[in-house]
Amino acid sequence: MHTERLRPASLLLLRLGTGLLIIIWGSLRLVSPAAGPGLADKYYSGLFNMQAVQIGYGAAEVAIGALVALGLFRRVAYPLQALILIPGTLMLWRYLLDPMGMWLMSREDSQILFFPSIAIAAATLVLIAFRDEDRYALDARRSART
């Protein structure tokens, strides 16, 4: 496959993957409002752990995730996605530095499934860096018609 076709297809997959992830997280906060404060307490040092804040945050995540997945208003949606995913990744620093629970935490407290958060944060930066090359985004298709 030529890179001319591979790059926009890769950006589409990154856009769908990161956008849908944010939609899922936001939906969890909306469908199960009690889960949000618990997650905030356990993994994010209690940051914004009030249920009302979590519901509002969940609604914003669903909206931003939908914009990202569809490729609409990318100049705004991508930086907003980065503000969700990158700080979220940084807040998990103990799990990223010690995914196997060998020196910062116990093996029982460790969570190897958080390690891919690094790749998700990087995907957000790739989407921003190559935004103009995503030919399959709806706003790119819309502006090509005008």
* Each residue's pLDDT tens digit, 73-127: 999 999 999 999 999 899 888 888 888 888 888 888 888 888 899 999 999 999 9
Q: Specify whether the CB–CB gap between 44 and 53 falls below 8 A.
A: no
Interatomic CA distance for residues 100 and 24, integer angstroms: 26
Please report the sign of the dihedral spanned by the C-alpha atoms of residue 123, residue 7, residue 10, residue 15.
positive
What is the pLDDT at residue 1?
55
What is the pLDDT at residue 48?
66
What is the pLDDT at residue 44?
64
Q: Between residues 107 and 145, which one has the greater pLDDT?
A: 107
What are the structure tokens assigned to 60, written together? 């914003």
What is the pLDDT at residue 21?
96
For residue 115, give every residue at least 6 positions away whose Cβ sits within 8 Å of its Cβ, in sequence order, or none. 95, 96, 99
Confidence tier at 2 by pLDDT (50, 70, 90): confident
Q: Which amino acid is at 87?
A: P
What is the pLDDT at residue 108?
85
12-63 per-position pLDDT tens digit: 999 999 999 999 999 988 888 777 667 766 666 666 667 777 788 899 999 9
Q: Specify whether the CB–CB gap between 101 and 108 falls below 8 A.
A: yes
For residue 37, give every residue at least 6 positions away whose Cβ sits within 8 Å of its Cβ, in sequence order, or none. 49, 50, 51, 54
What is the pLDDT at residue 50?
74
Q: Between residues 134 and 51, which one has the greater pLDDT?
A: 134
What are the structure tokens assigned to 16, written together? 């769908």
Please report the sign of the dihedral spanned by the C-alpha atoms of residue 95, residue 100, residue 105, residue 111.
positive
